[in-house]
């Protein structure tokens, strides 16, 4: 982890042209093609939109001349105003965010770190090693690794970690594959710490991650859960991880920072999260027995736990200075399966949140939490009208659709580019443009599909790859 941090700091200090030279020298042909195509499409579309100005004007006049078109324009304008206002609000809240610095060793609480693993192979060994060398008082940390009936050599690597780390780690096996939620449930019941920390078995952490992650529980007695800051681990070669690293930076360091100032982070990620033990036991039975449309919930355990802790009236915060690096899909198939799982969980938990968010569920301000809920829920409600509009637009005015869409991507993606460039790397930040194109044309169907199939179970990405 020291090396990762040093490399990041070195990258930030390297002059822009040196970084661009390094990027070009180490770029592969496919990466150059994707990035080049991205800019050709965006700038070409901007020129096309300029040429088609009269056609856009005529289209707007046609829409205003019919009742359906007029209603659509009013709804679209209202939604645009809301999203713009919400972005400005989020940006203002982001500017107010400050990570809580670590408390002293004496103040740090006892923690139980739970690492559930399934078909993770050697990576679980690396995860446990990074946790074992954490800068945290040894007598205050309990490290539990749970093999959830893996079909590969995960258990062997857990045993190797046990031999190397000795009493610093405890390992156990589930009698069969029961799902991540049940592995965590076992860890919650066997853990003895005041704080539970959950870490995915494909993640590694910095030395100071644990102490930074749990410090908010000491500073804020109403804190029930804390979300860690997730970066991409396998972003050195493949294109998708590079794109996702930029996306993660915006999702965590911008969005969750804003949510944290409202004490209402909506999801504590499975890759790195912390929970007050009393908050966990306040909803543990409900959580392990959770169902949706009559079927046991075996996905979205992190979002569900966050939701239930918020419902109890606790604050849920984000710690930007608590870093974990996790592996993400490198191929499109793995990516869309991951997004489907997240999408289904999002649908389920927004329904659950709607049952309490407008009640007096906690002391203090609640308007922020309600606004966050409304923003997420509106995205789900409007997904079908949006897709229908897009299909009609494509069929009736294909050139206008393509030119306006690519220009919109160029404008809207500039903020993620600037955000990532400011915090990390200018040369890598431009992947935000490519990711937006991929999301718009290759993943637009995820939310409608997840909504239509929200009752389906299955992790989708946990099995061994087919050979």
What digits encode the pLDDT tens for the residues 410-440? 999 999 999 999 999 998 999 999 999 999 9
Rounded to the nearest integer, the mean pLDDT of the chain is 92
Does residue 185 form part of some domain? yes
Average pLDDT over residues 37-53: 94
Tokens representing residue 377 in the block:
């829920």
Region 441-449: mean pLDDT is 95
What CATH number did the domain enclosing 367 receive? Answer: 3.90.550.10
pLDDT digits (tens, 9 = 90+) for 310-346: 999 999 999 999 999 999 999 999 999 999 999 999 9
Evaluate whether residue 7 is within a structural domain. no
User: Does any domain span residue 2?
Assistant: no
User: Using CA atoms, how far apart are residues 243 and 438, in angstroms rounded to an integer?
Assistant: 10
Annotate 79-97 with b (16+ C-beta within 10 A) or e (fewer). eeeeeeeeeeebeebbeeb
Split at pLDDT 50, 70, 90, the class of 23 is: low
Determine, yes or no, domain membership for 19: no
- The first and second tokens of residue 405, run together, are 């869409």
Q: How many domains does the chain have?
A: 1
Q: Is residue 132 part of a domain?
A: yes
- Tell me: pLDDT of 467 over 50: no
What's the alpha-carbon Rg for the chain, to the nearest Å?
A: 23
Q: Which domain, by its residues, includes 197? A: 29-461
Per-residue model confidence (pLDDT) at position 466: 46
179-188, 248-257, 387-396: least confidently modelled range: 387-396
461 band by pLDDT with thresholds 50, 70 and 90:
low
Alpha-carbon span 456 to 234, nearest angstrom: 30
The closest alpha carbon to 353, from 369, 329, 330, belongs to: 369
Q: How far apart are CA 373 and CA 376, in angstroms?
A: 5
- What percent of the chain shows pLDDT beyond 70? 92
The average pLDDT across 140-164 equals 96
pLDDT of residue 10: 44
What secondary structure, in 3-state letters, does the chain show?
A: CHHHHHHHHHHHHCCHHHHHHHHHHHCCHHHHHHHHHHHHHHHHHHHHHHHCHHHHHHHHHHHHCCHHHHHHHHHHHHHHHHHHHHHHHHHHHHHHCCCCCCCCCCCCCCEEEEEEECCCCCHHHHHHHHHHCCCCCHHHEEEEEEECCCCCCHHHHHHHHHHHHHHHCEEEECCCCCCHHHHHHHHHHHCCCCEEEEECCCEEECCCHHHHHHHHHHHCCCEEEEEEEEEECCCCCCHHHHHHHHHHHHHHHHHHHHHHHCCECCCCCCCEEEEEHHHHHCCHHHHHCCEECCEECCCCHHHHHHHHHHHCCCEEEEEEEEEEEECCCCCHHHHHHHHHHHHHHHHHHHHHHHCCCCCCCCCCCCHHHHHHHHHHHHHHHCHHHHHHHHHHHHHHCHHHHHHHHHHHHHHHCHHHHHHHHHHCCHHHHCHHHHHHHHHHHHCCCHHHHHHHCCCCCCCCCCCCCCC
Burial 387-423 (b: 16+ CB within 10 A, else e): eeeeeebeeebeebbbbbbbbebbeebeebbebbbee
pLDDT digits (tens, 9 = 90+) for 158-185: 999 999 999 999 999 999 999 999 999 9
Can you read off the two tokens belonging to residue 420? 């990532």
pTM: 0.90
**Inside any domain, residue 6:** no
In a domain, 51, yes or no: yes
The 10s digit of each residue's pLDDT in 267-317 is 999 999 999 999 999 999 999 999 999 899 989 999 999 999 999 999 999
* Domain assignment of residue 316, yes or no: yes
C-alpha distances (whole Å) from 265 to each of 118, 430, 438, 457 are 27, 27, 27, 25
Nearest to 274 by CA among 190, 187, 170, 199: 199
**Mean pLDDT throughout 47-58?**
94
The answer to whether the CB of 400 falls within 8 A of the CB of 54 is no
Can you tell me the distance from the alpha carbon of 416 to that of 430, in angstroms, rounded to the nearest whole number?
Answer: 9
Predicted local distance difference test score (pLDDT) of residue 67: 87
* Residues of the chain above pLDDT 90, percent: 82
Enumerate the β-bridge partners of residue 273: 198, 227
pLDDT band at 463 (very low <50, low <70, confident <90, very high): low
Q: Between 5 and 456, where is the model more confident?
A: 456
* Residue 252 burial (C-beta neighbours within 10 Å; 0-12, 13-18, 19+): buried
- Mean local confidence (pLDDT), 401-408: 95
Average pLDDT over residues 346-364: 96
């Amino acid at each position: 982890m020291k090396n990762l941090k040093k490399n990041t700091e070195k990258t930030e200090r390297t002059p822009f042209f040196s970084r661009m030279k390094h990027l070009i020298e180490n770029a592969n042909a496919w990466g150059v093609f994707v990035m080049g195509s991205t800019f050709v499409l965006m700038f070409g579309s901007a020129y096309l939109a300029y040429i088609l100005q009269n056609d856009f004007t005529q289209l707007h006049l046609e829409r205003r001349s019919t009742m359906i078109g007029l209603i659509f324009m009013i709804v679209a304008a209202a939604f645009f105003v809301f999203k713009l206002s919400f972005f400005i609000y989020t940006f203002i809240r982001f500017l107010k965010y400050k990570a809580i610095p670590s408390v002293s060793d004496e103040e740090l609480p006892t923690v139980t770190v739970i690492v559930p693993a399934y078909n993770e192979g050697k990576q679980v060994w690396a995860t446990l090693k990074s946790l074992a060398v954490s800068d945290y008082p040894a007598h205050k940390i309990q490290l539990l690794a749970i093999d959830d009936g893996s079909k590969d050599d995960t258990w062997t690597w857990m045993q190797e970690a046990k031999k190397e780390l000795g009493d610093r780690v405890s390992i156990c096996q589930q009698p069969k594959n029961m799902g991540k939620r049940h592995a965590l449930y076992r860890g919650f019941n066997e853990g003895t710490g005041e704080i539970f920390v959950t870490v995915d078995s494909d993640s590694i952490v910095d030395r100071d991650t644990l102490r930074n992650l749990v410090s908010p529980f000491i500073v804020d007695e109403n804190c029930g859960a804390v979300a860690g800051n997730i970066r991409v681990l396998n972003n050195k070669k493949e294109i998708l991880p590079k794109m996702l690293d930029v996306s993660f930076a915006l999702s965590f360091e911008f969005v969750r920072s804003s949510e944290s100032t409202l004490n209402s982070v909506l999801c504590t990620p499975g890759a790195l999260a912390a929970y007050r033990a009393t908050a966990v036991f306040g909803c543990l039975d409900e959580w392990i027995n959770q169902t949706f449309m009559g079927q046991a919930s075996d996905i979205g355990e992190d979002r569900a736990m966050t939701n239930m802790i918020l419902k109890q009236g606790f604050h849920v915060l984000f710690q930007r200075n608590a870093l974990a690096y996790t592996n993400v899909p490198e191929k499109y198939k793995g990516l869309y399966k991951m997004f489907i799982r997240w999408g289904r969980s999002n649908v389920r938990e927004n329904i659950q949140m709607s049952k309490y968010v407008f009640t007096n569920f906690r002391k203090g301000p609640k308007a922020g939490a309600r606004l966050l809920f409304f923003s997420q829920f509106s995205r789900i409600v409007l997904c079908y009208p949006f897709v229908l509009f897009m299909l009609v637009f494509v069929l009736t005015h294909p050139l206008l659709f393509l030119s306006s869409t690519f220009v919109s991507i160029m404008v809207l993606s500039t903020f993620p580019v600037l955000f990532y460039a400011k915090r990390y790397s200018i040369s890598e930040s431009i992947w935000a443009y490519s990711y937006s194109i991929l999301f718009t044309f290759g993943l637009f169907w995820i939310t409608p599909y997840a909504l239509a199939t929200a009752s389906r179970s299955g992790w989708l990405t946990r099995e061994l790859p087919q050979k």
